[in-house]
Amino acid sequence: MTGPDFSYEILARQNGAMRIAGVDEVGRGPIAGPVTAAAVVLDPSNIPDGLNDSKALSAKKREVLYDLIMASSDVCIAHASVEEIDEINILRASHLAMERAVAGLSQTPDHLLIDGNMIPRGLTGSTEAIIKGDAKSLSISAASIVAKICRDRIMWDLAQQFPGYGWETNAGYPSKSHKEALQNLGVTPHHRRSFKPVHNMLYQA
């Protein structure tokens, strides 16, 4: 399978867009921690080599690319909190994080490339959703890398404050050891109470 390319961006530029942002989020599946989104406007003359879907890259390669993206691109990283996730649901919260990331860019983009099959309702203007976009568009690949690195660092920091849940390695996903820790150590303020393993613990009969 070939990696992502710049064809979506080139087409948008041919249609008059100059600032094209790739947008992606990470953290829908975990039972702890925020959901994190990134919006990235790549410099077409200075695109880091080796961009790909963050899941297809080694941790070391992601770190290298993260630094290159941050140094050469317009980037905004944004989050939706555990409280927001529990209040409005994870889909809406992930869209909210995306909306915040786009709003935080230094200049308003002319066109947005969104990973997934839905366009967040708060994102208006010229926008397209691309299924598996992080493996197709270099701009979305860059956003996926930035979002993952940033969220992993947040979970590593939280792991130091709440040891025993393995967040430094599982990033809050419901691994077997994480669910066992939930049973043994209890629910933290960073657990998503609307998610089944946590909800069941709190409200079991």
Using CA atoms, how far apart are residues 185 and 39, in angstroms rounded to an integer? 36
Name the phi and psi angles at 155, rounded to 5: -70, -30
Annotated binding site for a divalent metal cation: 24-25, 115
What ranges in the chain are assigned the alpha helix state H?
7-14, 59-72, 82-88, 90-103, 138-161, 167-170, 176-185, 196-203
CB 4 within 8 A of CB 55: no
Annotated binding site: 24-25, 115
**What are the structure tokens assigned to 145, written together?**
């890398």
- Walk across the sheet containing 111-115 and list its strands: 74-80, 35-41, 20-26, 111-115, 127-130
What are the beta bridge partners of residue 110?
none
> Counting beta carbons within 10 angstroms of the beta carbon of residue 202, is it exposed (0 to 12), middle (13 to 18) or buried (19 or more)?
exposed
Nearest CA to 143 among 190, 192, 94?
94
